[in-house]
Amino acid sequence: MAESRSTPSIGFSTVKAAPSCDTVYGVQSEDTCFGIAQTFKLTTEFFDSINPNINCAAIFVGGKMAKANIKLAMFLYMVVVVSFLLTIKIAESRSTPSMAKAAPSCDTVFGVRSGDTCFGIVQTFKLTTEFFDSINPNLNCTAMFAAGLTGGRPTPHCNEVLSVESGDTCFAITQAFNMTTAFFDAINPNLNCRKLFVGEWLCIAGTVN
């Protein structure tokens, strides 16, 4: 049977907690509704909804208050933690090197040599300027450099390439793509990590003979 008690006129008799209340809390000296809500990680709105008869201006020692189910409180806490971790993960992903912007179906790469120009390469391989630009979206034709593609095809079995952007380093790229330094060096045998050029193509996926 529900416990009843006589109370001062400013209090209340038997508390009618929410029908789904699983746990009650006995008011202690100097307790306040706000303090109790904070202790059990409840919002003010939710606390009020499960304690419809509470007069927070005149709570008394020994009064019974409904407390949220502990499982629900833990669930809400985990939601906050997961949201925080996702925010950190998104921030980290934005700080990693950009993904390769080369054409998805690029089968062959060419090593720039001294004196080469975009126009000359287009003519040699009988390409249109538009097509050449579309498969080399990051190439700066006004600032081509020798060995622009790491001295030619990085490896006979390179499956995916990455265009170097400002601020990239070999170490950051290996971390971003979960590669060991040894493997990265093996698929980029001609690369000089001390002199990376913006627009330079690197191999980031392949096999080593």
Residues 6+ apart with CB under 8 A from 204: 100, 160, 161, 162, 173, 177, 179, 187
SS3 25: strand
Is the pTM higher than 0.75? no
Distance CA(161)–CA(106), nearest Å, equals 9
Q: Residue 134: its pLDDT value, please?
A: 78
Structure token digits, residue 174: 């290996």
Q: Residue 83: its pLDDT value, please?
A: 66
The residues with which 160 forms a beta bridge, in sequence order, are: 205
Q: Residue 209: its pLDDT value, please?
A: 66
Q: Residue 46: its pLDDT value, please?
A: 80
The residues with which 163 forms a beta bridge, in sequence order, are: 201
Q: Residue 113: its pLDDT value, please?
A: 66
CB 52 within 8 A of CB 101: no
Domains of the chain: 1-95 (3.10.350.10), 118-206 (3.10.350.10)
CB 144 within 8 A of CB 118: yes
pLDDT truncated to tens, each residue of the chain (209 aa)?
444 444 443 344 444 444 466 777 777 777 788 888 888 888 878 877 877 777 776 666 556 555 555 555 566 667 666 766 666 655 554 444 444 444 445 666 676 666 777 878 888 888 887 888 777 776 767 665 544 443 344 444 677 888 888 888 899 999 998 989 888 888 887 778 888 888 777 888 877 76
